């Protein structure tokens, strides 16, 4: 799993590795990008490259280096540091890769403590003694001052088994005191430590923290980049499915890889029944519609299901608007383009807008806890015949 496995943003990755090669890596790096853009994956890869016991530098002889140096200009790996993935440092750091699973384990471990200890225990993920991952602490999901205190308590000691201590903050929502404590570390960082701050919105961090860090953005990938990645990693999806997922994951490869395609398609089939029923002639048979809306129940599970339905309804309505405004290339539900064209022909732009507004009303109604299935029926029937 070397750097070449990282998808997208090759220039950013290249610059970070170059700084590593020159031993000019900044003490604090802000990795900014959408959810699923690879911030955490990249931070872990850099932690491995810093500490790999068999750190590889391609092209050791000067002749090779010249040759490879040229290919590096053309976007190749050059003689930049990489990591092996199988030494004891790489293996232990890589155990943190499944952040959701490690986070859940840490939360559960804390839940099992006695009440008195629970309050004292701050949340961390740590699979290597010199690499500490600091997630936002539930239930507030903020970085707390005691978490940063633990960073301060350890960061000034030389690493034991690594060359570089690495701290990865996986969120940028800090309690005020925590942010101020972090600032103190950034004012006097030790030589042998690197801090990564991962954020979807760098503006959330204190300006004084930002000015003491170097910011790197992980931009959205193209559909083609995501599709080609999915072809390797999700061979169980066919080309149409890969095209659909690439378009729905908004340029974030992590989101594409964990996309719940089955759940999406199920919700979409319901959304289509609702839209078809709304666009049908007046006094049509509502049995299919009612059967669908009846399956939406209250409770936490019902809540998630109905939110999935809303998301797909909005995404279909948006696609209809794209078709009606001559921007068909922006349609995301490409696998049902024929069906969308039919729907788009039997409605018009004003109808789609009314539908989106009506949907907003149903959503607000649900927040006031109206009976779920009832308001869905009302939504579909209210739109009937207005085209
Ligand atoms: Zn290694």
Contacts 24+ apart (CB under 8 A), 21-27: 21/57, 21/79, 21/80, 21/81, 25/50, 25/194, 26/194, 26/213, 26/214, 27/186, 27/189, 27/193, 27/194, 27/195
Which value, to the nearest 10 degrees, does the dihedral of the CA atoms of residues 251, 348, 360, 203 take? Answer: 30
Give one word for 78, left, alpha or beta, with left for phi > 0 and alpha for psi -120 to 50.
left
- Cα-to-centroid distance, 212 and ligand 1 (Å): 30
Banded pLDDT at 372 (limits 50, 70, 90): low
Chain segment 188-240, per-residue pLDDT in tens: 999 999 999 999 999 999 999 999 999 999 999 999 999 999 999 999 999 99
**pLDDT tens-digit readout, 168-188:** 999 999 999 999 999 999 999
Q: In this model, does residue 151 exceed pLDDT 80?
A: yes
Distance 67 CA to ligand 1 centre (A): 25
Per-residue model confidence (pLDDT) at position 57: 60
Query: Comparing C-alpha atoms, which of 38, 42, 15, 11 is closest to residue 26?
Result: 15
User: 98: CA distance to ligand 1 center in Å?
Assistant: 18
How many Å lie between the centroid of ligand 1 and the Cα of residue 227? 29
pLDDT over 80 (residue 92): yes
**pLDDT, position 379:** 75
Separation of CA 7 and ligand 1 centre (Å)? 20
CA of 374 from ligand 1 middle (Å) equals 58
Alpha carbon distance 120, 318 (integer Å): 48
pLDDT band at 75 (very low <50, low <70, confident <90, very high): very low
308, 264 in Cβ contact below 8 A? yes
Q: What is the pLDDT of residues 300-354, one digit of tens each?
A: 677 788 888 888 999 999 999 999 999 999 999 999 999 999 999 988 889 899 8
Q: What local confidence, expressed as pLDDT, does residue 173 receive?
A: 96
pLDDT of residue 60: 43
Using an 8 Å Cβ cutoff, are 113 and 85 in contact?
no
φ, ψ (nearest 5 deg) of residue 227: -60, -40
Query: Residue 232: which residues within 8 A CB-CB, separation 6 or more?
Result: none
Helix or strand (DSSP H, E) at 165: strand 165-169
Q: Is the pLDDT of residue 59 over 70?
A: no
The tens digit of pLDDT for each residue in 247-281 reads 999 899 999 999 999 999 999 999 998 888 888 76
Distance 107 CA to ligand 1 centre (A): 29
- Distance (Å, whole) CA 376 – CA 269: 15
Distance in Å, CA 91 to ligand 1 centroid: 7
Query: Residue 67: its pLDDT value, please?
Result: 41
Q: Across the strands, what pairs with 174?
A: 143
Q: Is 110:138 a contact under the CB 8 Å cutoff?
A: no
| d(CA 9, ligand 1 centre) in Å | 23
Q: What is the pLDDT of residue 386?
A: 52
Do residues 274 and 380 lie in contact, with contact meaning Cβ atoms separated by under 8 Å?
Answer: yes
Q: In a 3-state reduction of DSSP, which class is residue 134?
A: strand
User: 57 or 221, which is more confident?
Assistant: 221
pLDDT band at 377 (very low <50, low <70, confident <90, very high): confident
Give 49 Cα–ligand 1 centroid separation in angstroms: 7
Ligand 1 center to 196 CA (angstroms)? 20
């Amino acid at each position: 799993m070397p750097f070449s496995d990282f998808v997208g943003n090759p220039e950013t990755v290249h610059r970070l590795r170059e700084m590593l090669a020159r031993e000019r890596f900044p003490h604090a790096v802000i990795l900014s990008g959408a959810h699923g853009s690879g911030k955490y994956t990249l931070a872990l890869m850099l932690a491995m490259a810093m500490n790999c016991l068999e750190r590889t530098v391609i092209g050791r002889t000067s002749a090779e280096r010249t040759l490879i140096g040229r290919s590096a200009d053309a976007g190749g790996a050059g003689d930049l540091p990489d990591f092996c993935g199988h030494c004891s440092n790489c293996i232990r750091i890589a155990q943190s890769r499944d952040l959701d699973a490690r986070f859940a384990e840490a939360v559960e471990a804390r839940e099992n403590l006695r009440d008195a200890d629970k309050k004292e225990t701050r949340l961390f993920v740590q699979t290597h003694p010199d690499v500490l991952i600091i997630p936002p602490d539930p239930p507030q999901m903020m970085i707390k001052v005691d978490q940063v205190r633990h960073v301060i308590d350890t960061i000034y000691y030389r690493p034991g088994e690594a060359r570089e201590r690495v701290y990865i903050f996986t969120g940028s929502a800090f309690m005020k005191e925590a942010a101020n404590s972090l600032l103190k570390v950034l004012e006097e960082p030790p030589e042998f430590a690197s801090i990564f701050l991962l954020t979807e919105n760098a503006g959330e961090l204190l300006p004084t923290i930002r000015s003491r860090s170097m910011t790197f953005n992980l931009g959205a990938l193209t559909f083609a980049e995501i599709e080609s990645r999915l072809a390797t990693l999700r061979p169980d999806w066919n080309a149409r499915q890969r095209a659909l997922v690439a378009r729905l994951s908004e340029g974030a490869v992590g989101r594409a890889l964990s996309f719940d395609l089955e759940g999406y398609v199920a919700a979409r089939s319901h959304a289509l029944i609702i839209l078809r029923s709304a666009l049908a002639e007046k006094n049509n048979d509502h049995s299919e519609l009612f059967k669908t809306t009846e399956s939406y129940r209250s409770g936490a599970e019902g809540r998630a299901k109905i939110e999935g339905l809303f998301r797909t309804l909005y995404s279909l309505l948006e696609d209809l608007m794209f078709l009606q405004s001559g921007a068909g290339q922006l349609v995301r539900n490409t696998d049902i383009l024929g069906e969308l064209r039919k729907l788009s022909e039997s409605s018009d732009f004003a109808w789609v807008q009314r539908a989106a507004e009506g949907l907003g009303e149903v959503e607000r109604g649900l927040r006031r806890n109206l009976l779920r299935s009832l308001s869905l029926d009302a939504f579909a029937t209210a739109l009937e015949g207005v085209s």
